[in-house]
Structure 1
């Protein structure tokens, strides 16, 4: 007995295409550029996308005709929560950070920047690891605890752009990058830096550290490997012991060599770029629009703020009113379409019913019509005749009251009758001149080319049947151009020329008949 087949259950089948909760709940971002092109705006946009990886659209391609609404419209399906915009005007370069979909929006002026390629090329030891960009970076804020709501908004905006870390479940191997933001109180500037994190073991000799790190040591100045491991003077100054403040105790085992659990390690930072020097200019309540909550350059009185607030509310009400009118017009048009559709369907039904009634009436009329008398041909008569029991002429007299025309109900057949043969034209006389004194074109007697005989024949007394009567005849009486029989008709029909055409046909071959070979003599 075979095994019982298990049925499929939607409840037990996990959706493999479903995204994990950690990925869905993480903040995602769009990084785009708008405004004037050039000035390394596009390169800076690409570098900032590298900073926001992996929760950003790295290959996003925007167009000039794209608006903010286009990105907001697709943000919900892609779990996008923040929007970063780099723009350039005649006054300088700006960066805007907005929370989708309702704001707020922070506007920064970019006073100075350095691209990632320039930063990396300036380093003596370049350290760029692609694995580091598979996880989001740490965010470190310094000196954002000043008075004023702008500091709180800036701190919360920068922190919420990156996913939060659970210190109880975090894996130290995934912490490979860090973003640092430092607020300078005197200049009101923000320094933006991006680094990669490297962990190195400490508490062991330099030679052992190089061997553990997987590097091939240079033993050209050593007589033995032990001499390399014990003497520290052979190392360069850059490989000296790190600052003790950078030493940490690891709570987990790291994937790099020499970093063990509960062991001491040193943290080194290598800059990846880009570098940005920012200044906060304005904070808006909405997304790229709304009430201005803070402005660093312009200060307005309470009366001016109230007037602006009232005008903004009036615009908002007008916009809602227009939207309501548009919705009503749309509903009215849809209702009119439905009514028209119902009317057309009802008309189609009525038309179908009328057609059925007309068909019934037509059938009744056909059944009630008087059957036409059958026509038959009487023997010995040439015309078709109708029986006398129902005469068309009599019916016409009864209905119209007048005498019909003579040919109205004529029983004679009309039309063209096909001839017995295929050719309906009249026979033409033959060109061989068989008939004596005929009406042929080249014969004697009554022809338009002849003077009492033939136009081309000098001997007018000869008859056209035997000799010289045709166009090709000779004085000797030869019948055609190629024959020399005198006075005899040697032509013989080989085809049914009487029913097909009337051109001359071939002649019998004999001693006295010349044949045309087509060769020159």
Structure 2
């Protein structure tokens, strides 16, 4: 093998290793299903579509849920597809609700959606929306604010949100892969969570507007109105209006080179956020122990006494015992029916052996009855003539006898079909 052949072989091996690493990382990342239960209306269905875009690429973008589907159907499919979270939207006469379930054993957090705004409405108010499709090929960066506290419900809510998105290794992450971010802000006074979804764009600092325009495009701008390129560059003040908007708090030193022009390593750049939508204002209402069922660990509006909690726990245990008893009884019934079926089969075979001889061939099964032959029918006719006439029959007299032949052939499904030939 020559040098080129060895090089190609090494490239193939490296490609296979890289694909295996990517597949393993994809399996370990949290995946989600976003769907609705019950009738929700067109606006909530559009909100579900927007939430699927937020959760991309680790979600089923084109998931279809029908009215006849129950929660158990989604749970059965979730295991082979490595689904870790369900985001379920429901609607009642009071409000719209969003449930976040952790699979396979819970817990389930139920949020009341006080207000929401669709992505199309957010984009319609933007002067320069960023609708680049490549930004949805990587998962968003999660930014949380105000979730520090000693409340167990707050800690559980913070852990649930963190586990919905893949973790980031600061030493290995590529800045070009961070295109979006999800911001969650918790207000401890109103107990509301503000959900926002932004696009991240990094622009170089210290350039005029003309220079930025020249760096951002591959085409040469129209300079027919200018005598020199300096006139084009100096037509505006060095400190442009874009630079005025870039405060010191939004400027960062890039640790890596980025794909956008002017963003080089160890250079100052400004971070720009463009909202993509949707917007949600959430309020935690209920926390359940299981997946949309189980013991209620927290409720915002209903408080139970110790006696009521004890009665509910006793009722839950009773239901669990009855369910286990029904399961055992069902298993016994299945075993009993199997035994009865086998006994019935043996009795049928024994009865067939007593009546006749059972012959089974490759293409058909035939049953023969070696009882009386055709000569017995002829003897019966002769005896009948003797009794009625009182004399022996004439040898030239031909007594007609009806002969029956039974033929059994194997039909479809292993059954025997009987056909009479007269």
What is the DSSP-based 3-state SS (H/G/I as helix, E as strand, rest coil) of the residue aligned with 2:37? strand
Task: Report the Cα offset of residue 224 of structure 1.
Answer: 1.6
Contact in 1 for aligned 2:138/2:178 (Cα 8 Å) = yes
Cα separation, partners in 2 of 1:15 and 1:145, compared to 1, 3 Å: closer
Of 320, 325, 330 in structure 2, the residue corresponding to residue 321 of structure 1 is: 325
2:252 is the counterpart of 1:267: no
2:255 is the counterpart of 1:251: yes
Contact in 2 for aligned 1:252/1:261 (Cα 8 Å) = yes
Cα distance in 2 for residues equivalent to 1:240 and 1:36 = 49
Higher Cα Rg: structure 1 or 2? 1
Contact in 2 for aligned 1:101/1:287 (Cα 8 Å) = yes
Cα distance in 2 for residues equivalent to 1:174 and 1:275 = 23
Task: Report the Cα offset of residue 106 of structure 1.
Answer: 0.4
Q: Partner residue of 2:197? A: 194
2:413 is the counterpart of 1:409: no
Cα distance in 1 for residues equivalent to 2:189 and 2:195 = 16
Could you give the per-residue CA deviations for residues 257-282 of structure 1, whole angstroms, max 9, x where no partner exists?
A: 12222222221111000000010011
Cα distance in 2 for residues equivalent to 1:44 and 1:357 = 69
Q: Partner residue of 2:10? A: none
What is the DSSP-based 3-state SS (H/G/I as helix, E as strand, rest coil) of the residue aligned with 1:192? strand
Q: Partner residue of 1:46? A: 49
TM-score, normalising length from structure 1? 0.64
Of 304, 309, 313 in structure 1, the residue corresponding to residue 308 of structure 2 is: 304
2:170 is the counterpart of 1:185: no
Cα separation, partners in 2 of 1:357 and 1:218, compared to 1, 3 Å: closer
Moved more, 260-269 or 156-165: 260-269
Of 284, 288, 311 in structure 2, the residue corresponding to residue 284 of structure 1 is: 288
Task: Report the Cα offset of residue 200 of structure 1.
Answer: 1.2
Cα distance in 1 for residues equivalent to 2:113 and 2:397 = 109
What is the DSSP-based 3-state SS (H/G/I as helix, E as strand, rest coil) of the residue aligned with 2:104? coil
Cα distance in 2 for residues equivalent to 1:234 and 1:184 = 41
Cα separation, partners in 2 of 1:414 and 1:85, compared to 1, 3 Å: closer
Contact in 1 for aligned 2:356/2:370 (Cα 8 Å) = no
Could you give the per-residue CA deviations for residues 457-498 of structure 1, whole angstroms, max 9, x where no partner exists?
A: xxxxxxxxxxxxxxxxxxxxxxxxxxxxxxxxxxxxxxxxxx
Q: Partner residue of 1:111? A: 114
Cα separation, partners in 2 of 1:351 and 1:216, compared to 1, 3 Å: farther
Moved more, 159-168 or 33-42: 33-42
Q: Partner residue of 1:226? A: 230
Of 28, 33, 37 in structure 1, the residue corresponding to residue 31 of structure 2 is: 28
TM-score, normalising length from structure 2? 0.79
Task: Report the Cα offset of residue 188 of structure 1.
Answer: 0.8
What is the DSSP-based 3-state SS (H/G/I as helix, E as strand, rest coil) of the residue aligned with 1:265? strand
Cα separation, partners in 2 of 1:289 and 1:413, compared to 1, 3 Å: closer
2:119 is the counterpart of 1:149: no
Cα separation, partners in 2 of 1:403 and 1:303, compared to 1, 3 Å: closer
What is the DSSP-based 3-state SS (H/G/I as helix, E as strand, rest coil) of the residue aligned with 2:158? helix
Cα distance in 2 for residues equivalent to 1:245 and 1:302 = 51
Q: Partner residue of 1:449? A: none
Cα distance in 2 for residues equivalent to 1:332 and 1:297 = 50
Contact in 1 for aligned 2:106/2:291 (Cα 8 Å) = yes
What is the DSSP-based 3-state SS (H/G/I as helix, E as strand, rest coil) of the residue aligned with 1:404? coil
Cα distance in 1 for residues equivalent to 2:116 and 2:196 = 10
Of 120, 127, 131 in structure 2, the residue corresponding to residue 128 of structure 1 is: 131
2:74 is the counterpart of 1:89: no
Instruction: Count residues with an aligned counterpart.
Output: 373
Task: Report the Cα offset of residue 352 of structure 1.
Answer: 5.8
Q: Partner residue of 1:425? A: none
Higher normalized contact order (CA 8 Å, seq sep 6+, divided by chain length) = 2
Contact in 2 for aligned 1:35/1:89 (Cα 8 Å) = no
Q: Partner residue of 1:512? A: none
Contact in 2 for aligned 1:201/1:264 (Cα 8 Å) = yes
Q: Partner residue of 1:462? A: none
Cα distance in 1 for residues equivalent to 2:187 and 2:295 = 27
Q: Partner residue of 1:171? A: 174
Cα separation, partners in 2 of 1:286 and 1:256, compared to 1, 3 Å: same
Contact in 1 for aligned 2:122/2:276 (Cα 8 Å) = yes
Could you give the per-residue CA deviations for residues 302-342 of structure 1, whole angstroms, max 9, x where no partner exists?
A: 22212211111111111111122112212221222233234
Could you give the per-residue CA deviations for residues 416-446 of structure 1, whole angstroms, max 9, x where no partner exists?
A: xxxxxxxxxxxxxxxxxxxxxxxxxxxxxxx
Unpaired runs of at least 5, structure 2: 1-12, 360-365, 401-422
What is the DSSP-based 3-state SS (H/G/I as helix, E as strand, rest coil) of the residue aligned with 1:35? coil
Task: Report the Cα offset of residue 122 of structure 1.
Answer: 0.5
Task: Report the Cα offset of residue 141 of structure 1.
Answer: 0.9
